[in-house]
Amino acid sequence: MSKQTEITRKTVKDIARAKGGTPLVMLTAYDAPMAELMDPHVDMLLVGDSLGMVVHGLPSTVGVTMEMMILHGQAVMRGSQQAFVVVDMPFGSYETSEDQAFLNAVRIMKETGCQAVKIESGAYAAKQIAHLVERGIPVMGHVGLRPQAINVDGGFRAKGRTETEREIVINEARAADRAGAFAIVIEGVAEDLAAEITAEVSCPTIGIGASAACDGQVLVAQDMLGLFDWAPKFVRRYADLRTETETAVKAYADDVRARKFPGKAETYSLRKP
């Protein structure tokens, strides 16, 4: 029998231990080069279904498929070594039944090698979460603004601004926690609501448009890096790669048209005998 491969990545236990401690760092990743750059600096990488909008130009996450999630998940796993990698379960892959959720979660984990899946935790989702956890699949929940519910909500809008909505979001977080979610993303809610949920649930919370009181934070990497001309209110831009990229492309185009590229340094010459 061959020796088992030593696990070098962060584990579910590492994430759980962060509750109430040093905040967890999480970013989205969709390809190997970006995963490699981010891997030394983050605790978790999220292969989010946001890839439908960020990479494929879709108007929402609703059109994302299992095949898309698996393809990008495989790339992120190849590019990273130590980060805990979570892959989103796309719209339509888990809502029907616990069995549907299990079969699709197993496929994602087997074909990508990721450490966990993420489910947008509507009121129905606790059964699916418990079913997966009982069968050895770590699950991250997601409450508040749920992008897969855009057609019901009529757009991307903050949640929990009324007492009724607050109660719904809190109950969804409680249910995900009781069902065994190892962490819960809280997106687009009032700061005090995110802090209240964080204080109440036993698992770490990961905020995005929520509160610094959460046990960690996540952003879409391309938003944080300034690759788009618009970003949500909750994004802080740490770079302006859109301007830098446009400047570089224009300089390249100008050099090509002026026959300045390629130059001597970029061309091959015949070797002398």
- What is d(CA 258, CA 241) in angstroms, rounded to the nearest whole number? 25
Give me the residue label for tokens 């991250």: 140
Give me the residue label for tokens 């129905």: 124
**What residue spans of the chain are helical by DSSP H?**
12-17, 32-38, 51-54, 66-79, 98-112, 125-134, 150-153, 163-179, 191-200, 221-224, 241-257
Query: Tokens at residue 148, please?
Result: 């897969």
Task: Select which of 120, 172, 187, 196 is catalytic.
Answer: 187
Known active-site residue 266? no
**Dihedral sign (CA 149, 153, 156, 157):** negative
Query: Tokens at residue 170, please?
Result: 């809190």
User: How many other CB atoms are found less than 10 A from the CB of residue 130?
Assistant: 18
User: Hey, which residues are catalytic here?
Assistant: 187
